[in-house]
Amino acid sequence: MTAEPAITLSTFGSDMTVAVIGASGGIGHALAERLSASERVARVFACSRSGRGPRHAKIVQRPLDLEDEASIAAVAASLERPLDLAIVATGVLHDRALAPEKSWRALDGAALERAFRINAVGPALVAKHFLPLLARDRKAAFAALSARVGSIEDNRLGGWHAYRASKAALNMLIRTLAVELARRRPRALCVALHPGTVDTALSAPFQDGVPAERRFPPRVAAAHLLAVLDRLEAADSGRLFAWDGAPIAF
């Protein structure tokens, strides 16, 4: 297995205030746990619809429904400011109403709309309300989990139309948000992150062809993502990065 990186968050300020959206999911839960264990973090707002995020003295639970902008706005208004880091760790690939398409014959309007609502629209609305909370006088970051399969340039296999297209839309939103953020918060960054294949419910049906050393427990995936964010600078804003820090073309 790939070595688990140390988490220092040394390029951020001390007494960090952070928010994890999707803290009840596998990666989001691990991110909230990892952040709450850091000496540099003072408060973690664990936001989820279910409220089943991790429990820790530093963690404050906040109910947030990604498909309800009023819910997102209410949580943003309740947070301590400024934020040093906000991570949207949400996404849908399959559920009772959605399955990855193998052919254009499987395309369904309702399924496409659901994928875009969760994978692109929801994170965009979080950005709308959370980007104004980012610190002005030091490094701050907004990140959303994307996927390598959302890269248009990297698409050689086809299929998975709704997931690919909704993640590609997220990537474009991140790029566009980053342009505006640079004018308002020159030291901040807005990026998309590809966590790799993580042992969660999202990837469980699709892990057979993935080597064991490239399947990460959520705890390790969270460490990789935080290590990448620690290395990135404002000049990296608006891009998609893999779990190992390598840039991925949109």
Q: Which CATH superfamily is domain 16-248 in?
A: NAD(P)-binding Rossmann-like Domain (3.40.50.720)
Q: How far apart are CA 157 and CA 166, in angstroms?
A: 17
- Check residue 115 and give its pLDDT: 96
| Model pTM score | 0.93
- Does residue 209 contact residue 162 with C-beta atoms inside 8 Å? no
> What is the predicted pLDDT for the residue at 209?
59
Averages of pLDDT over each 10 residues, the chain, 250 residues: 84 97 96 97 95 90 97 95 96 87 96 96 98 97 97 93 97 98 98 92 60 79 97 98 96
Per-domain residue ranges of the chain: 16-248
Strands (E), the chain: 16-21, 41-48, 59-63, 85-88, 140-145, 188-194, 197-198, 215-216, 240-242, 247-248
